[in-house]
Structure 1
Amino acid sequence: MGKFDITLRDAIGKIPQKFVQLLTGQRGTKLLDNTFPAVKERKADLILELEDGSIFHLEMQTKNDKNMPFRMLEYYTLLKQKYPDKPINQMVLFVGDGKLNMPDSLQVDNLHFGYQVVDIKTIECKELLESDSLEDKILAVLCDVKDFERYIKTVVGELVKLPEKERADYKSY
């Protein structure tokens, strides 16, 4: 931070009432803490660049979270700083039991922010089950699988075909 920035911050650090009143139309009443300690590491569930050049951010959520809009806004800000010229598309995928009732937007003060919220149970898993990708077949368990016994047999059948080392990688799933 430059000397000029420090001088300015020191000057406004004692509630310059006329200055605040000119900017806001009101008097300042109390100085609040202006430090934001410790940057926390954020790790998104999935971030991809799509074929159209846009960025897709996915968060999977097992429980309804009323604070999800703030988390998604934080991710959006981080993504936009990292990829300023790319459109950002965000989705929360609800993979929990019960009814989805999370907000898909945030509107406070002068801010309006939104993203998609989708319940995995509304997604037809047939395409995942028919995929050539074992990862797709494993993820199909999150959808509304009609014949669960057949599903398990299919996935286990695929796993036993793999070499032992490769099969070991899937044990963590």
Structure 2
Amino acid sequence: MDWDTEVWGKRYAVLYRCWLSRIYHQKRERFFDVCDNVTKAVAVVGGAASIAEIAAPNQFIVTAAAITVMSALSLVVGYAKKARSHADLAKAFTELEARVVAKGVFDEQQVNAFEAEILRLEMNESRSLGALVRICQNEIAVARGNLQDVRPVSLWRRIWAHLYDFDMSPEPTSR
């Protein structure tokens, strides 16, 4: 079987979606792991300080507030659970990518089956964050040597990429 040009383009689109989703979910996993570890560190340090009574009364209040806020965020947001969820999605997209590559030459029906599998995986995703997606797209463009495809993301948006969904659609051009 020979490659059909249209199927080859669709194959690339499937692989691109796998790469983008894998990188995105790996970044989200790392972010939630860091949040979980920071929460644990604050709780341990604060708990040790209060047990050892080395903190002055005003420091004790700040420590207790920090522990309370961080622990509440951890319970409400569920950092560890979200990190595992994103790890599972990254793994699923990596496995799909491996199956696409291993398949070799395939036809329209097979590419449609891979696209359907991507849609099934995406059903388990939360809404994606625009700036974070753009950061991932830029990483893929750089890795593939397509520097013309890199679209800058401001420092402000990079800092808040995991917390706020920035609209990264292109600016409308005025006539």
Largest Rg, 1 or 2? 1
TM-score, with structure 2 as normaliser: 0.21
Higher share of residues assigned helix: 2
Higher relative contact order (CA 8 A, sep 6+): 2
Normalising by structure 1, report the TM-score.
0.21
